[in-house]
Amino acid sequence: MMELQKKIELSKHEHKPLQVNPIKHSQPMGAALAFMGIKNCLPLMHASQGCASYTKVFFTRHFNEPIAMYNTSVGDITAILDGGDYSILMSIENITKKNTTLKPELIGLHTTGLTETKGDDVRSVGVHIEIPYCYVNTPDFEGGMESGWALTCKALIKQHTLTCSEIKPSKLLLLPHVSMQPAEVEKIKEFCEGFGFETLALPDLSTSLDGYLSEGQGKLGTGAIGIDDIKALGDCETVISIGTSMKIAAEALLEKNDKITHLHFNHLMGLEMNDNFVASLMKIRQIEPRPMMKRWRGRLQDAMLDSHFLIGSSNFVITGEPDMCVGMCELLQSVGGTIEAVIATTYSPILKDIKATNVFVGDLEDAEIHFKNADLVISNFHAERLLHLQEKHTGLVLRGFPNYEELGNQLKNDQLYEGSTYFLFEVANKLREVKHHE
């Protein structure tokens, strides 16, 4: 029955009235995660209590960490009578009064479907708040996690970065897309620092959800970038957006200072894209890469050759956020892998650039049809049970949100020469297990 279904085209419009086994995650969740990547930020979800509770549990299980997450607990009365002011101001008062040691340096407020439907003016509430305040409109009936994260970055820059006409040579801002795990942000920062850049990332989860034992976790965001850093971003020499979703944040920064150079990379996976990346950094800094960078390039070349036989004879199905999918496809295709299908969470123009027969926005019900043609599936936690249901033995590499069961998600690294190398080996080894069974 399923086989007879016609090919699903890439479109902004849905191809069916519902989602069955969804992979899409909501905008508010992306916004919440972004605020967790800011130092001493109090992420405040303007919603009924369930939205925040679900989000908290979701990230707690993915990162295996206590999660800083608060909500305004909109009730039936406030849903109708309040314009947002009461619940937002009362929340901040209640939270800071209850815990006097809590010293938030930023209130990160974002909306949800409920508060957007009732139409709260979250912008004007800000005048009553003494702590620096950032608001972002993220209804969960629009966009997805990737856009929620990007909109939050844009809002932070737009509302807090001061306009500037000077630039500070060698100051660099990285704008990583939502699918990058804490270790990946850290690796890219280090890589840029290796070229002599003073490097900041927005948001910066590298010190937030990186799985680090310390006291008093999960109360405020502990990202490596603070509100003062954000204010002073206007003098960056260069801004690098990674992932198409992040272009809007880079553009917001350029409005603060038109002397800033904007470099964009769709992803940082595979040899070609990383060569472009390194060439750009070399050009700006006029220096050679460090010996270890060169060494890793050689290792990636070797890994490509080592893995090409297994990957080159295999079919893949990939599901996830668009910015993540596009990088994985290019890396796998660079060693001869065949992409059977890409099922994306939400629409993004970058999906058009993926060279595969089936690229569309959908859910795991749609993906399941393609599973039987795949040797390996790259998807989230939910794919595991579905793959167990089918007779054919298909491998699974878990990537994207959520990954409830595996440990160490925060330290997975698929970026740059180094991460790409490990990724290829992981995929190839998984394929070996599968093909061994046949």
Selection from 131, 144, 157, 145 nearest residue 44 by Cα: 131
Phi, psi of 168 (to 5 degrees): -100, 115
Q: Tell me if 83 contacts other proteins by CB under 8 A.
A: no
Q: Tell me if 425 contacts other proteins by CB under 8 A.
A: no
Interface positions, 352-411, toward other proteins (CB under 8 A): 381-382, 385, 402, 404
Q: Tell me if 144 contacts other proteins by CB under 8 A.
A: yes
What is the distance between the alpha carbons of residues 32 and 45, in angstroms, rounded to a whole number? 7
- Binder among 9, 11, 15, 16 for other proteins (CB under 8 A): 16
What is the distance between the alpha carbons of residues 357 and 390, in angstroms, rounded to a whole number? 23
Q: Tell me if 289 contacts other proteins by CB under 8 A.
A: no
Q: Tell me if 71 contacts other proteins by CB under 8 A.
A: yes
Identity of residue 435: K
- Regarding beta strands 198-201 and 133-136, do their DSSP bridges make them parallel or antiparallel, or are they unpaired? unpaired
- Binder among 8, 10, 19, 308 for other proteins (CB under 8 A): 19
Q: Minimum Å distance from CB 47 to other proteins?
A: 8
Mapping DSSP to helix (H, G, I), strand (E, B) and coil, where does residue 89 land?
helix
How many degrees, rounded to 5, is the angle at CA 35 between CA 406 and CA 174?
85
Q: Tell me if 218 contacts other proteins by CB under 8 A.
A: yes
* Of residues 104 and 243, the one with the C-beta less far from other proteins: 104
* Of residues 53 and 315, the one with the C-beta less far from other proteins: 53
What is the distance between the alpha carbons of residues 426 and 324, in angstroms, rounded to a whole number? 17
How many degrees, rounded to 5, is the angle at CA 69 between CA 66 and CA 70?
140
Q: Minimum Å distance from CB 205 to other proteins?
A: 18
Q: Tell me if 217 contacts other proteins by CB under 8 A.
A: yes
Q: Minimum Å distance from CB 361 to other proteins?
A: 11
Q: Tell me if 213 contacts other proteins by CB under 8 A.
A: yes
Selection from 437, 256, 347 nearest residue 15 by Cα: 347
Q: Tell me if 28 contacts other proteins by CB under 8 A.
A: yes
Using CB under 8 A as the binding criterion, the count of chain residues that bind other proteins stands at 70
CB atoms within 10 A of CB 3: 6
- The separation between CA 369 and the C-alpha centre of its own chain, rounded to angstroms, equals 27
Q: Tell me if 178 contacts other proteins by CB under 8 A.
A: no
Q: Tell me if 121 contacts other proteins by CB under 8 A.
A: no
What is the distance between the alpha carbons of residues 259 and 261, in angstroms, rounded to a whole number? 6
Q: Please confirm whether the linkage preceding 289 is cis (ω < 30° from 0).
A: no
Q: Which stretch binds other proteins (CB under 8 A): 66-74, 204-212, 235-243, 310-318?
A: 66-74
Selection from 413, 356, 361, 384 nearest residue 23 by Cα: 361
Q: Which stretch binds other proteins (CB under 8 A): 161-169, 183-191, 216-224, 274-282?
A: 216-224
Residues that bind other proteins (CB under 8 A): 14, 16-22, 24-29, 44, 47-55, 57-58, 60-61, 65-66, 70-76, 78-79, 86-88, 90-95, 98, 112-114, 117-118, 139-142, 144, 213-218, 381-382, 385, 402, 404
